Structure 1
Amino acid sequence: MQRSLAARGFVTPSRSWGGRVRDGVDFLARHSPARFAILIFTALILLWTFMLSLPIASQSRSMTPLADALFTAVSVICVTGLSTVDMATHWSGFGNAIIFIGVNIGGVGVLTLASILGLVVSRRISLRTRLMAASDSNPSRIHVGPVNEGQAVRLGEVGSLLATVAISALAIEAITALVLFPRVLAAGYDLGHSIWYSVYYAAMAFTNTGFIPNPEGIAPFEHDYIFLAGLMFGVVLGAIGFPVIYALVRLWRSPRKWTVHVKLTLFTFAVLLVAGTALFIWLEFDNPKTFGGLNAFDTVFQSFFMSVMTRSGGFSTIDIADLHGSSLLVADMLMFIGGGSASTAGGIKVTTLAVLFLAAFAEARGRDAMEAFGRRIPRDILRLAVSVVLWGATTVAVSSILLLHITKASLDIVLFDVISAFATCGLSTGLTQDLPTAGVYVLSATMFMGRVGTVTLAAALAASQSRQLFKRPEERPIVG
């Protein structure tokens, strides 16, 4: 095997055991980077399942059942935030440390994570690994290869991107923790717990996970708008995506130089935040269980907080089950869309939605090409966007059918938790904690498929795309 790989030019023969392992990993990363990424992701989930099932990981010092350990591991690595156990009381200090480390690893992203690990093991970033990392900010690289314009991160800047990912994650979590710390201390917690809760909340906000460390939950802070603003700060920066953060850091003084990806992400993200806020105000202002007893300012702020958290944040100051059915549907749509590409958020991504609307506008105007901010968007991006939406809708539909059959719960409740799992959001109506074992495995698979993403999965299943050298006769079916 080693000689055959060396003969094909993929590796340099190595006699040591460590060298052979490194060469094998390097070959896999070069030959199929997307499969390498999914392999790492799966290995991390299995490792975290094992560690969380250990007696030392639980407060009771007993083994956590496999279904609960697996579900928590998937939720941690997929930065979802759903749980089948009480996260604040079930896990020991060791278990919480494992969870804290896991969400930060998972928040980096599948492809970027694989690139970093490939760099560590192989001690270099090869061209193929650079392509893999670049594809995390531009999925079209995996789909049809490099394109000429609109790149959020160019191929030669991947090393800087990886550094930005690590530095921005640490910096944003540190800033968020500093904002939260005095508010947690003011809530009556001692110094040690205040430090831990602040750091924990900061990590859960930036990674868009939404786990709660304190037994009282977020209730002590539901009217502390500085604390809630700190959470929103971390969630938004995590949800807009690393390529956008990278561009904003470099070109914050020159918005005209921002790429189409950055502009589309920021514009669509802002529109969805405002629209979500307005809808929650309209639908919940008369609901006595949610915002009905609040004054105008509180209603607007809490609605905005809810709109931010449906990006993929997962925190909530109200009981989700108390929302009107119309509000649940609005939250479903916002969660399904999610945040920005190459971010800690899930969903189909805001740029996918933007491309679909641009295609509809171009078709309505009779134009062949999609245009945005003075740039033309290639048609293959539309095909990719449609594939992402169809994959997401299919995953949600299949999971909903299975859970409806398993739990016998109502459609609006099941659909909400399924979309929350697919979009790695973490908000729940309470259904998840009461799931039978079969439902736990179904929702675990839903989280995994939602986080891995359509583009990565498609690239992993198809090592290469064949080029068709002929065209068949054209015929138009009736549509609509």
Structure 2
Amino acid sequence: MAMRQLRAPLRLSSVPGRIRDGVDHFAGHSPSRFAIAIFTALVMLFTLLFSLPIAAENGQVTALPDALFTAVSVICVTGLSTVNMATHWSDFGDVLVFIGVNVGGIGVLTLASILGMVISRRLGLRAKLLAASDSNPSRIHVGPVNEGQTVRLGEVGNLLATVAVSALVIEAVVALMLFPRMLAVGVQAGEAAWHSLYYAAMAFTNTGFNPNPEGLTPWADDYFFLSALMVGVILGAIGFPVIYALVRGWRRPRRWSVHVKLTLVTFGLLLAAGGLLYILLEFDNPKTFGGHGAAETIFQAFFLSAMTRSGGFATINIADLHGSSLLVSDMLMFIGGGSASTAGGIKVTTLAVLFLAAFAEARGNESMEAFGRRIPRDILRLAVSVVLWGATIVAVSSIAILQITKAPFDYVLFDVISAFATCGLSTGLTADLPPEGVYIMAATMFMGRIGTVTLAAALASSERRQLFKRPEERPIVG
């Protein structure tokens, strides 16, 4: 009788309570699938909203391929579009874009963590594990790990606060920097205020949409305006864990974690290498930098190098670049920015781990080392998996788009990598895709944004333990 009395309240629990318990169980059982489910739901919701007549400037229903592609591009903070983003959408549509890129820029797993916290009204252990995995994807792969490379489990609450505060502060500062420059070229105060906020959000989230039909043309020679965009893009691309570490201990760089050091060093080297290569490859191209002076060429080259990390803004026509420059851009976009950032790509730490492994192998060392710390080999396996997943997605999508459009290979490869790396730069190919090509590019953006690690973890039902070892044999490699 006593047991029946204790069980009765469980059967009579409220519907919201049952929903909350069900969501909590699903999130705890498979965090990565829960995050992907939330991301998919957001894409479906924004597809519906963008299809509404009120979202279009002409008051008509937007076609499903365009509405879906825009929703994916906005939520995945990509920046590619099949419609003119400055003229097709109404004020309501522009607000949807602004809200969507800020939601998408938070990150798949961090977003899922915040929603889980709202549902459960507390940030419990499962939600903390979910949020921590966004700052360190290896926790998805092998569970909680004992390291100091990113953010410790107990600091996840502070990390989530840093995500919200840093996004708000950085976008506000960038907007304040842009506002007077817009007034200087004759933009009305109200429009300048809105466009400043819009550009700031597009910069920090690494999206790259333009609110005006001329794009960056009015400010193509305004170094201050372009520098403000670069600052927003770089701060968004280095990653929230790095921002968190810099805010906490910017005066003590020796105490920075290996993740922070690897991210900053690799990011800086790639930014410098990209700028130098663009100078060497484009200084004689009359369609890009050939007509500029030395100072302007250097600035524009480094601006393009920063934008290929996932920024998506451009002061030139990408299709006018030499083939060699397009290939350099492909590599920079594929690498992308930092982990747990608004940027896409395989991430700079993935590249750094691969190079560290190559150096260790060349020197005959058994383990990888960086900044006086040893990096475990399971991180190398994870890095290789990320690269292979990314290369496979790019290859399959490129073959499909090539078969559909018969377009030049370098243009197809550029736009596909831009979609996968959620960069947003385009040769003009994406805007002319037929519906079947639009769906393929949308799927490429989605898989690139949710992350190859998250996708792999979601596809694996569970980690299988093997209590025996098979005989070892070494195949010939190289």
- TM-score (norm: length of structure 1): 0.97
In the TM superposition, residue 215 of structure 1 has moved relative to its aligned partner by: 1.5
Return 147-156 or 244-253, whichever deviates more: 147-156
Aligned residues: 472
Return 26-35 or 48-57, whichever deviates more: 26-35
Q: Which of these residues, 262, 280, 283, is aligned with residue 282 of structure 1?
A: 280
Matches within 5 A, 1:91-106: 91-106=89-104
Q: Which amino acid aligns with 1:462?
A: A
Report SS of the residue matched to 1:376: strand
Do the aligned partners of residues 304 and 474 (structure 1) sit closer, same or farther apart at CA in structure 2, a change above 3 Å counting? same
In the TM superposition, residue 188 of structure 1 has moved relative to its aligned partner by: 1.0
**Conserved? CA contact 1:222–1:317, under 8 Å:** yes
Distance (whole Å) between structure 1 residues aligned to residue 20 and residue 10 of structure 2: 10
Unmatched segments (≥5 aa) in structure 1 = 1-5
Distance (whole Å) between structure 2 residues aligned to residue 13 and residue 225 of structure 1: 65
**Conserved? CA contact 2:149–2:260, under 8 Å:** no
Q: Is 1:457 matched up with 2:434?
A: no
Q: Is 1:218 matched up with 2:194?
A: no
Q: Which amino acid aligns with 2:258?
A: V
In the TM superposition, residue 15 of structure 1 has moved relative to its aligned partner by: 2.0
Distance (whole Å) between structure 2 residues aligned to residue 259 and residue 272 of structure 1: 20
Q: Which of these residues, 36, 39, 51, is aligned with residue 38 of structure 1?
A: 36
Report SS of the residue matched to 2:393: helix
The aligned counterpart of 1:419 is: 417
Do the aligned partners of residues 14 and 414 (structure 1) sit closer, same or farther apart at CA in structure 2, a change above 3 Å counting? farther
Do the aligned partners of residues 13 and 129 (structure 1) sit closer, same or farther apart at CA in structure 2, a change above 3 Å counting? farther
Report SS of the residue matched to 1:215: coil
Matches within 5 A, 1:198-217: 198-217=196-215
The aligned counterpart of 2:239 is: 241
The aligned counterpart of 1:337 is: 335
The aligned counterpart of 1:71 is: 69
Q: Is 1:318 matched up with 2:316?
A: yes
Return 421-430 or 185-194, whichever deviates more: 185-194
In the TM superposition, residue 206 of structure 1 has moved relative to its aligned partner by: 0.1
Return 171-180 or 449-458, whichever deviates more: 449-458
Return 253-262 or 148-157, whichever deviates more: 148-157
Q: Is 1:147 matched up with 2:151?
A: no
Distance (whole Å) between structure 2 residues aligned to residue 299 and residue 286 of structure 1: 10
In the TM superposition, residue 366 of structure 1 has moved relative to its aligned partner by: 0.4
In the TM superposition, residue 14 of structure 1 has moved relative to its aligned partner by: 6.2
Distance (whole Å) between structure 1 residues aligned to residue 389 and residue 85 of structure 2: 31
Return 469-478 or 137-146, whichever deviates more: 137-146
Distance (whole Å) between structure 2 residues aligned to residue 328 and residue 163 of structure 1: 39
Return 27-36 or 319-328, whichever deviates more: 27-36
Distance (whole Å) between structure 1 residues aligned to residue 466 and residue 32 of structure 2: 23
In the TM superposition, residue 12 of structure 1 has moved relative to its aligned partner by: 6.8
Return 250-259 or 121-130, whichever deviates more: 121-130
The aligned counterpart of 1:263 is: 261
Unmatched segments (≥5 aa) in structure 2 = 1-5
**Conserved? CA contact 1:12–1:23, under 8 Å:** no
Distance (whole Å) between structure 2 residues aligned to residue 467 and residue 26 of structure 1: 26
The aligned counterpart of 2:346 is: 348
In the TM superposition, residue 126 of structure 1 has moved relative to its aligned partner by: 2.0
The aligned counterpart of 1:291 is: 289
**Conserved? CA contact 2:283–2:290, under 8 Å:** yes
The aligned counterpart of 1:402 is: 400
The aligned counterpart of 1:3 is: none
Distance (whole Å) between structure 1 residues aligned to residue 130 and residue 117 of structure 2: 12
Distance (whole Å) between structure 2 residues aligned to residue 235 and residue 14 of structure 1: 51
Distance (whole Å) between structure 2 residues aligned to residue 374 and residue 470 of structure 1: 34
Distance (whole Å) between structure 2 residues aligned to residue 102 and residue 274 of structure 1: 32
Distance (whole Å) between structure 1 residues aligned to residue 256 and residue 337 of structure 2: 18
Q: Which amino acid aligns with 2:95?
A: A
Do the aligned partners of residues 310 and 13 (structure 1) sit closer, same or farther apart at CA in structure 2, a change above 3 Å counting? farther
Distance (whole Å) between structure 2 residues aligned to residue 107 and residue 463 of structure 1: 27
Any idea what the Cα deviations from partners look like across 1:189-210, whole Å, max 9, x if unmatched?
A: 1011100110000000000000
Distance (whole Å) between structure 1 residues aligned to residue 401 and residue 415 of structure 2: 10
Report SS of the residue matched to 2:465: coil
Any idea what the Cα deviations from partners look like across 1:389-428, whole Å, max 9, x if unmatched?
A: 0000000000000000000001000000000000000000
Do the aligned partners of residues 423 and 14 (structure 1) sit closer, same or farther apart at CA in structure 2, a change above 3 Å counting? farther
Q: Which of these residues, 113, 116, 131, is aligned with residue 115 of structure 1?
A: 113
In the TM superposition, residue 13 of structure 1 has moved relative to its aligned partner by: 6.3
Q: Which amino acid aligns with 1:379?
A: R
Distance (whole Å) between structure 2 residues aligned to residue 111 and residue 359 of structure 1: 28
Distance (whole Å) between structure 2 residues aligned to residue 13 and residue 43 of structure 1: 29
Distance (whole Å) between structure 1 residues aligned to residue 323 and residue 242 of structure 2: 34
Any idea what the Cα deviations from partners look like across 1:348-403, whole Å, max 9, x if unmatched?
A: 00000000000000000000100000000000000000000000000000000000
Any idea what the Cα deviations from partners look like across 1:44-97, whole Å, max 9, x if unmatched?
A: 000000000000000000000000000000000000000000000000011011
Q: Which amino acid aligns with 2:246?
A: L
Distance (whole Å) between structure 1 residues aligned to residue 322 and residue 409 of structure 2: 14
**Conserved? CA contact 2:85–2:211, under 8 Å:** yes
Distance (whole Å) between structure 2 residues aligned to residue 417 and residue 236 of structure 1: 21
In the TM superposition, residue 24 of structure 1 has moved relative to its aligned partner by: 1.4
In the TM superposition, residue 145 of structure 1 has moved relative to its aligned partner by: 2.1
The aligned counterpart of 1:172 is: 170
Distance (whole Å) between structure 2 residues aligned to residue 394 and residue 299 of structure 1: 35
In the TM superposition, residue 140 of structure 1 has moved relative to its aligned partner by: 1.1
- TM-score (norm: length of structure 2): 0.97
Report SS of the residue matched to 2:209: coil
Q: Which of these residues, 179, 187, 192, is aligned with residue 189 of structure 1?
A: 187
Do the aligned partners of residues 219 and 56 (structure 1) sit closer, same or farther apart at CA in structure 2, a change above 3 Å counting? same
Distance (whole Å) between structure 1 residues aligned to residue 266 and residue 10 of structure 2: 47
Distance (whole Å) between structure 2 residues aligned to residue 475 and residue 31 of structure 1: 37
Deviation beyond 3 Å, 4+ runs, structure 1? 11-14
**Conserved? CA contact 2:344–2:421, under 8 Å:** yes
In the TM superposition, residue 478 of structure 1 has moved relative to its aligned partner by: 1.1
Q: Which amino acid aligns with 1:201?
A: Y
The aligned counterpart of 1:50 is: 48
Report SS of the residue matched to 1:21: helix
Task: Give RMSD over aligned pairs.
Answer: 1.2
The aligned counterpart of 1:361 is: 359
